[in-house]
Every structure is written in structure tokens, then in C-alpha cells.
Amino acid sequence: MNVPASVKPAVWGLIGGAIAAIVIGFAWGGWVTGGTAEKMEAASAEAAVLQAFTPLCVAKAEQQPEKFVSLKEKSNWGSPRGDFVIEAGWVDNVEEKYRSAVAKACAKVVVEGMKAE
């Protein structure tokens, strides 16, 4: 097959342009693979759950102020405060896979609120 000499530079330019577009798109254009998009979606969902359920947990905690001192005495290392919140029943309405994260966030907010007093 004979390709005219004037076509070859155009083909190489097209190939180079496509490669450049892909590199620029992934590096600076915000393009992501399907796996990365799934990870971003999961992180976004967890953040939304935390944002929605932490205030509800704090409201339940405010109904039991006698437990605040016990919560403050728990260590923040690991998840003893989160375990305390779960045992207190302040996150019973949260789905199991998000319960621990919401409990930790709730404990943090309650203890920080106690320091402000």
C-alpha cells in the first residue's frame, strides 16, 4: 500500500495529539479510572453519612448528660470513646458499616463541646 508522503505527518500529528490529550487529561484534566471513581464515591458517601448522622448522635448524647464524664475519661487512643458511644446506643439508627466512624465523630464533637464549657 502506497501512502502519499504528505499524509504521514498528519497521521503522526494525530497520534501525538491523542497521546498528549490523554496525558494532559489524566494529569491535569481531572480524568480518573473507574476504580478511582468508585473509591471517590465511597469516600463521599461516608462523608455524607458522617455529616448527616453526627448531629443526631450528639442530640441523643445531650439527652444523657450524666454519661459525659464517663465519655471524657475514656482514652482517645484506638476507639474506646467510639465503643462507649456505640454501647450507649447513641448510634443505633446508623447502618453497621458506618456506625464506628459516626461513633468516633460523635465522641469527638461531644468531648470538644465539653472543653468549651
Considering the chain, what percentage of its residues have pLDDT values greater than 90? 61
Query: What residues make up the domain containing 10?
Result: 1-31
Task: Band the pLDDT of 84: cuts 50, 70, 90.
Answer: very high
Residues 114, 108 contacting (CB under 8 angstroms): no
User: Cα dihedral angle (92, 96, 98, 99), rounded to 10 degrees?
Assistant: 40
Compare 1 and 68 and report the one with higher pLDDT.
Answer: 68
Whether residue 82 is predicted with pLDDT greater than 80 in this model: the reply is: yes
Number of domains, the chain: 2
pLDDT digits (tens, 9 = 90+) for 30-63: 999 999 999 999 999 999 999 999 999 999 998 9
Q: Name the average pLDDT for the chain.
A: 89
The pLDDT value recorded for residue 35 is 95
The pLDDT value recorded for residue 113 is 82
Nine cell digits for residue 58: 450528639
91 and 48 housed in the same domain: yes
Residues 100, 55 contacting (CB under 8 angstroms): no
71 and 109 housed in the same domain: yes
22 and 61 housed in the same domain: no
Give a yes or no: residue 39 inside a domain. Answer: no
- Residue partners of 95: CB distance under 8 A and separation at least 6: 49
Whether residue 116 is predicted with pLDDT greater than 70 in this model: the reply is: no
105 and 75 housed in the same domain: yes
The pLDDT value recorded for residue 67 is 86
Task: Band the pLDDT of 72: cuts 50, 70, 90.
Answer: confident
